[in-house]
């Protein structure tokens, strides 16, 4: 079962990385956004709806802590650490400048509290304590961060520290941040709850330090994350994610906005809210096929079954300009002939989605069921039929 779930998770990840917005007719113009760069992603459809300078190198400030959290959550899943386990606070962690959880070397702090300090308070001291607890040293933990960035396909990201303080060469891009944020939510859905916590402080620390800096958590009930960051060099940055219910979408529709280099806390919150609201109104999410529903059932040769069901284990959803759903056209592109065997979830072709004859998305399709190879007689008979064909 674990192998099956692992394969399924890898499949979803591969598809998510492959589905992209290519072009669309009459694309709605995004609002003016007061930031150096920004990106709006429809996570449900995995399509970029709006963007500016998303491949330009930027300093991530405390958005760095998203990767820190990813590595920590991965260590929890692998049972290398536990939520109830306590970690020491080293002098290095205690002396960290910038945002703090206000822990000190006299304390032994549970991992779960350090995670809350990392996420809610953006504590650099909590970050270093976790990095040392998971990686042994901060330096080794940073190596783990960079290795994970490569695995996730973050091609333009280099980490020099786990907390995000300004360091030469510590850079990323809006596109890479969208990859990280999306994978963080998808790979660790149970841990995503920490990003929605509005207030937290460790016993004995200042109550004035308990409020999450993500203003949208207090303004918009559909916002449930994700992280803010600020340094003089980076400006004010925010990654915000929201999930709103729609009758045609089981589990709702999730959008993710990235605003980098805004001029203040208020501006980054306002611009993030503006992007999210625009995305939900300017684009409709259209469910083309349910989870596990075949998009096509073509004939298969030399197999124990005569057909092969092609689809996705999750629902196939695309985002199109509002009011244009009726103009969507789909076409399955696949190899021909299809010759068994096929394993379950084996990639086989794609679903090409167009709007007004312009490409919208190219969704990888997989075999929803395995098709075993036929016996010697069946294969021979189909070989003859294929030759005649």
The catalytic site residues sit at 62, 65, 122
Q: In angstroms, what is the C-alpha Rg of the chain? A: 24
Who's near 111: CB < 8 A, 6+ residues apart? 72, 76, 81, 82, 83, 84, 85, 86, 87, 130, 133
Number of residues written out for the chain: 389
Question: Which DSSP helix (H) or strand (E) runs through 52?
Answer: strand 47-52
Most distant CA atoms of the chain, gap in Å: 82
Cα–Cα distance, 192 to 106 (Å, whole number): 30
Residue 305: closest CA among 297, 313, 294: 297
Which own/partner pairs from 54-57 qualify as long-range (CB within 8 Å, at least 24 positions apart)?
54/173, 54/174, 54/175, 54/178, 55/156, 55/173, 55/174, 55/175, 56/173, 56/174, 57/156, 57/171, 57/172, 57/173
Contact (Cβ atoms closer than 8 angstroms) between residue 99 and residue 122: yes
- Calpha distance 192→178 (Å, rounded): 15
């Amino acid at each position: 079962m674990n192998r099956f779930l692992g394969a399924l998770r890898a499949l979803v990840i591969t598809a998510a990385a492959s589905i992209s917005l290519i072009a669309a007719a009459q694309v709605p113009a995004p609002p003016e956004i007061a930031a150096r760069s920004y990106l709006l992603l429809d996570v449900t459809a995995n399509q970029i709806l709006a963007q500016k300078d998303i491949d330009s190198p930027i300093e991530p400030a405390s958005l760095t802590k998203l990767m820190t959290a990813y590595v920590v959550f991965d260590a929890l899943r692998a049972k290398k650490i536990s939520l109830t386990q306590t970690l020491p606070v080293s002098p290095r962690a205690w002396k960290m400048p910038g945002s703090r959880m206000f822990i000190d070397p006299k304390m032994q702090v549970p991992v779960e509290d350090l995670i809350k300090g990392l996420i809610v308070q953006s504590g650099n001291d909590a970050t270093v304590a976790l990095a040392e607890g998971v990686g042994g040293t901060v330096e080794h933990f940073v190596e783990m961060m960079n290795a994970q960035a490569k695995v996730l396909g973050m091609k333009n990201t280099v980490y020099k520290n786990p907390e995000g303080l300004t360091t030469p060469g510590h850079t990323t891009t809006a596109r890479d941040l969208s990859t990280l944020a999306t994978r963080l939510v998808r790979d660790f859905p149970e841990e995503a709850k920490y990003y929605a916590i509005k207030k937290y402080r460790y016993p004995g620390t200042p109550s004035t330090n308990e409020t999450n800096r993500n203003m949208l958590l207090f303004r918009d009930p559909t916002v449930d994350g994700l992280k803010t960051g600020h340094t003089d060099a980076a400006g004010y940055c925010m990654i915000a994610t929201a999930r709103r219910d729609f009758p045609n979408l089981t589990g709702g529709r999730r959008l993710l906005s990235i605003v980098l280099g805004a001029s203040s806390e208020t501006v980054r919150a306002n611009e993030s809210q503006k992007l999210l609201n625009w995305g939900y109104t300017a684009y409709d999410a259209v469910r083309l096929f349910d989870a596990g529903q075949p998009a096509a059932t073509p004939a298969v040769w030399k197999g124990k079954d005569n057909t092969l069901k092609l689809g996705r284990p999750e629902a196939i959803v695309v985002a199109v300009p509002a009011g244009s759903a009726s103009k969507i056209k789909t076409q399955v592109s696949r190899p021909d002939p299809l010759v068994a065997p096929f394993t379950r979830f084996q990639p086989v072709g794609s679903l090409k989605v167009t709007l007004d004859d312009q490409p919208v998305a190219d969704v990888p399709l997989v075999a929803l069921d395995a098709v075993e190879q036929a016996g010697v007689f069946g294969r021979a008979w189909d070989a003859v039929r294929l030759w005649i064909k």
